[in-house]
Structure 1
Amino acid sequence: METRQQGFLDSEPLKEADENTTSDVNLSNPLMTEEEREEIQLELAKLEDEISTLRQVLASKEKRHTELKHKLGITSLSELRNNLSRGWLDMQSSTAYKRTSGTLTSAGQKTTAAFSTLGSAINRKFGDMRNSPSFRTFEEKVENTVTSIKTKVGGPGAGGSFEDVLSSTAKASSQDTPTSTLTDTPERP
């Protein structure tokens, strides 16, 4: 018997009931006779025996089921794959899926149209902004600043493409680097 910590309402510790002792069960039904009680206990015992037999039969059927699947080459993975495929097809054929799919397609089309309209509006606004007098003034100031920097850094007539600048830099660095030549020195014995 196990005891448990007493709570506020417990008057005594709980006792573990033994499954095989049915005499401790208090059947306080005053309308039941001793014969009826014995009949019920016999029926209960028969049911327990039948349940036990059914469990044994089920276990043997499951074992045979596994053996037959093994002979056919059916693995758990292939069963899972088939079940998933069947479930996916069942889901696709359901009305809820079809309605949801239609709604999402419609929403996607509306979203695409909205982004297209937004892109057109942004392009139009950028075009309007570029044609504005304040943007033209800003653009001129940037061009003047870039030209001024090129003139100060590279001197008059400086500029050109990036490749021109790289090739002129490479020429200048090769002319500044002295080439080392080996002098003929006699070998020492």
Structure 2
Amino acid sequence: MEDDQLKEIIERCAAQDRSAQEQLFKLFYGKMLGVCMRYTKDHDRAQEVVQESFIKVFDKLGEFDFKGSFEGWVRRIMVNASIDAIRKRNRQPFSTDEEYVFNERSSVQEHDFDEDITKIKAEYAMEAIQELSPAYRTVFNLFVIENYSHKEIAQILDITEGTSKSNLAKAKQNLRKILSEKFVNIDHER
């Protein structure tokens, strides 16, 4: 879709044009459902978050200044709504009672893991990510997929940077275990 066409649809949506709102919803629904699915295990819950988020998108369209990516702006609303949904379901899903100590060895392990994960089919990786706890899954998604820094994640989730780092390290450790089990099971199925 051309930028001019998208701009016209956005402007019509801001003027409360229902057909334009439906068009915008259909245009971004699939991608945004994928974004929300990374944060919640439940497909129905992800659909609810997308729908609730689109209400926010339509309410806040007047704040979009056309200077950045509209899709990025919508994605940020979806991510924040997904995090809010997790918070509502779990009182303190992001807290941890221990801080992860980073050293040169853990940095090497992170690098090795990042190289390994790119070799795995996306469907297995996404399934494994869905098996993580809400806290680990959220920090992993924000850091690895959304490219937030630990400082930004700490601010978004109201946790310390150390907790963010700890949750990421534990998420990666759990992913290694889940994926190794999946691949052992796959090999046995053949």
Note whether the superposition's TM-score is higher than 0.5.
no
TM-score (norm 2): 0.18
After TM superposition, the score normalised by the length of structure 1 is 0.19
Work out which structure has the larger RCO, using CA pairs closer than 8 Å and 6 or more positions apart in sequence.
2
Which is richer in helix? 2
